[in-house]
């Protein structure tokens, strides 16, 4: 490519160099929008606009990192989730669209108008902040064991001015003396360490500690289910994200801990994804 001649159109054509990506066109648009500080409609409207030398250098450097597999969200430092734009870093999982199902289900439950909710393993803060943004009368505690995640979730909380969220460092319930939550939610690590999915695509760049759990992926889910009853108010709900093939196992765990009204819901791909009780 003749460097001097790069415009929006020729930059977009480099989507073909992103063979490893599931969404090369979208990736290019996001990288280019970021470098030009314009939205994606602008790219369609002004295809002939030339990139400045600085824009071109910045764009090619991001493109190269994307070619090596780095997730777009880490390159841009942000990811949309629910109605929120969240800062992300390689210290946390990138919020996924599937996880919005958990938020949707939590908001659809018949719950008191003002309540106490707990999000275990919050990462960027995605679930807790989405819930708090929809329900200003809810008091939400968001925990993570990793200090970097706690700091990131707190930055996201502050930049969204969500004063009904407290971010706390805790490994699951370790630093949660409270016992009166109406709602406990979690997207814990649930992937088996032998799962080939771990060596494909964006997941390779995400922290293992946020993805992988012992006992075929069930260890953390099991720990949370076992301990949750002691922290739930009467009639409170537990909602858990899990793997597409873990619905039956999670329902069994909930039943063993005396949960009732246990039900698994499917994500947009038709996979079992969230179980509640």
- In the annotated binding site, the residues are 121-125, 144, 172, 187-190
For ligand GLN, the closer of residues 95 and 277 by Cβ is: 95
The distance of closest approach from Cβ of residue 60 to ligand GLN in the complex, given in angstroms and rounded to an integer, is 29
Other CB atoms within 10 Å distance of the CB of residue 169: 14
Using DSSP's 3-state secondary structure scheme, residue 184 falls into strand
The distance of closest approach from Cβ of residue 96 to ligand GLN in the complex, given in angstroms and rounded to an integer, is 6
DSSP characters over 69-103: T--HHHHHTEEEETTEEEE--TTSPPP-GGGHHHH
Cα–Cα distance list, 183 to 41, 109, 112, 147 (Å): 40, 10, 10, 24
Q: Does 12 bind ligand GLN (CB under 6 A)?
A: no
Map the footprint of ligand GLN across residues 102-131, applying CB under 6 A.
none
CA proximity to 89, closest of 145, 33, 141, 146: 146
Exposed/middle/buried for 163, CB within 10 Å: 0-12, 13-18, 19+? Answer: exposed
Nearest residue to ligand GLN on Cβ basis: 211
Which position among 125, 189, 247, 277 is part of the footprint of ligand GLN (CB under 6 A)?
Answer: 189
Measured between alpha carbons, how far is 169 from 176 in angstroms, rounded to an integer? 10
Stretch of 31-39, 63-71, 101-109, 187-195 contacting ligand GLN, by CB under 6 A: 187-195
Q: Does 203 bind ligand GLN (CB under 6 A)?
A: yes
Measured between alpha carbons, how far is 120 from 195 in angstroms, rounded to an integer? 23
Using DSSP's 3-state secondary structure scheme, residue 262 falls into coil
- Residues β-bridged to residue 266: 272
The distance of closest approach from Cβ of residue 179 to ligand GLN in the complex, given in angstroms and rounded to an integer, is 26
For ligand GLN, the closer of residues 182 and 251 by Cβ is: 251
Q: Does 277 bind ligand GLN (CB under 6 A)?
A: no
- Residues β-bridged to residue 263: 276
Measured between alpha carbons, how far is 4 from 56 in angstroms, rounded to an integer? 9
Exposed/middle/buried for 129, CB within 10 Å: 0-12, 13-18, 19+? Answer: buried
Annotated binding site for S-adenosyl-L-methionine: 121-125, 144, 172, 187
Q: Does 232 bind ligand GLN (CB under 6 A)?
A: no
Measured between alpha carbons, how far is 185 from 100 in angstroms, rounded to an integer? 12
The distance of closest approach from Cβ of residue 195 to ligand GLN in the complex, given in angstroms and rounded to an integer, is 9
For ligand GLN, the closer of residues 190 and 237 by Cβ is: 190
The distance of closest approach from Cβ of residue 71 to ligand GLN in the complex, given in angstroms and rounded to an integer, is 11
For ligand GLN, the closer of residues 35 and 94 by Cβ is: 94
Give me Rg for the CA atoms of the chain: 21
The distance of closest approach from Cβ of residue 36 to ligand GLN in the complex, given in angstroms and rounded to an integer, is 30
Stretch of 62-70, 177-185, 189-197, 254-262 contacting ligand GLN, by CB under 6 A: 189-197
Q: Which residues bind ligand GLN (CB under 6 A)?
A: 96, 187, 189-191, 203, 211
């Amino acid at each position: 490519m003749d460097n001097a001649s790069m415009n929006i159109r020729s930059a977009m054509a480099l989507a073909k160099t992103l063979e490893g990506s599931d969404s090369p066109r979208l990736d290019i648009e996001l990288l280019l929008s970021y470098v030009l500080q314009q939205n994606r409609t602008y790219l369609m409207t002004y295809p002939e606009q030339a990139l400045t030398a600085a824009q071109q250098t910045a764009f090619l450097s991001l493109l190269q990192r994307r070619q090596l597999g780095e997730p777009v969200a880490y390159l841009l430092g942000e990811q949309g989730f629910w109605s929120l734009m969240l800062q992300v870093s390689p210290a946390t999982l990138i919020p996924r669209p599937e996880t919005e199902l958990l938020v949707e289900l939590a908001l659809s439950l018949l719950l008191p108008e003002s309540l106490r909710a707990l999000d275990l393993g919050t990462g960027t803060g995605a679930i807790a902040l989405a819930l708090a943004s929809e329900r200003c009368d809810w008091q939400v505690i968001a925990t993570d064991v990793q200090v970097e995640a706690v700091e990131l979730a707190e930055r996201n909380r502050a930049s969204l001015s969500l004063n009904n969220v407290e971010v706390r460092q805790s490994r699951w319930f370790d630093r949660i003396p409270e016992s009166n939550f109406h709602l406990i939610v979690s997207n814990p690590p649930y992937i088996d360490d032998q799962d080939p999915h771990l060596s494909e695509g964006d997941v390779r760049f995400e922290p293992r500690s946020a993805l992988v759990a012992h006992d075929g992926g069930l260890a953390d889910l099991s720990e949370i289910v076992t301990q949750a009853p002691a922290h739930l108010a009467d009639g409170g709900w537990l909602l858990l994200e899990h793997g597409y093939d873990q619905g039956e196992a999670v329902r069994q765990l909930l039943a063993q801990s005396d949960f009732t009204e246990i039900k698994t819901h499917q994500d947009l791909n038709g996979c079992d994804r969230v179980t509640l009780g």
